[in-house]
Amino acid sequence: MILATTDTLQGKNIKQYLGIVTAEVIYGSNMLRDFFASIRDFWGGRTGSYERVFERGQQDALKELQQRAQQLGADAVIGIQLKTDTINLDETGVLMLITASGTAVKF
């Protein structure tokens, strides 16, 4: 399975477009990570714990996207876009949302 951000793949002829596939990954925040992030926010700099969460989330979203495309019989997913966002629950928490979308195709 080929996953690509481009709309075409060099040397491949697309025979069939199978449709748009999407995947969503949502992670809850964690009090300890939030505490250390708030310290980092005060002093400035990168927050490695959240970077790792988003990195893992992007990889999980791509895996889910690949699985959904394989269920359609796809050989590749092209035009992939990854987006990150947050969902505010209330004053006590935030969820991190990572979405992936693309077009499933057969060669």
Q: 51-99, pLDDT tens digit by residue?
A: 777 888 899 999 999 999 999 999 999 999 999 888 777 766 778 889 9
Contacts by 51-56, CB closer than 8 A, 24 or more apart: 53/27, 53/96, 54/84, 54/96, 54/98
Residue 51 CB contacts under 8 Å (≥ 6 apart), including other chains: none
Q: Tell me: the pLDDT tens digits for 23-43? A: 999 887 655 445 544 554 545
Domain residue ranges in the chain: 2-106
pTM of the predicted structure, to 2 decimals = 0.77
Torsion of CA 36, 40, 42, 43, to 10 degrees: 140
Q: Please give the CATH topology (third level) of the domain spanning 2-106.
A: Translation Initiation Factor IF3 (3.30.110)
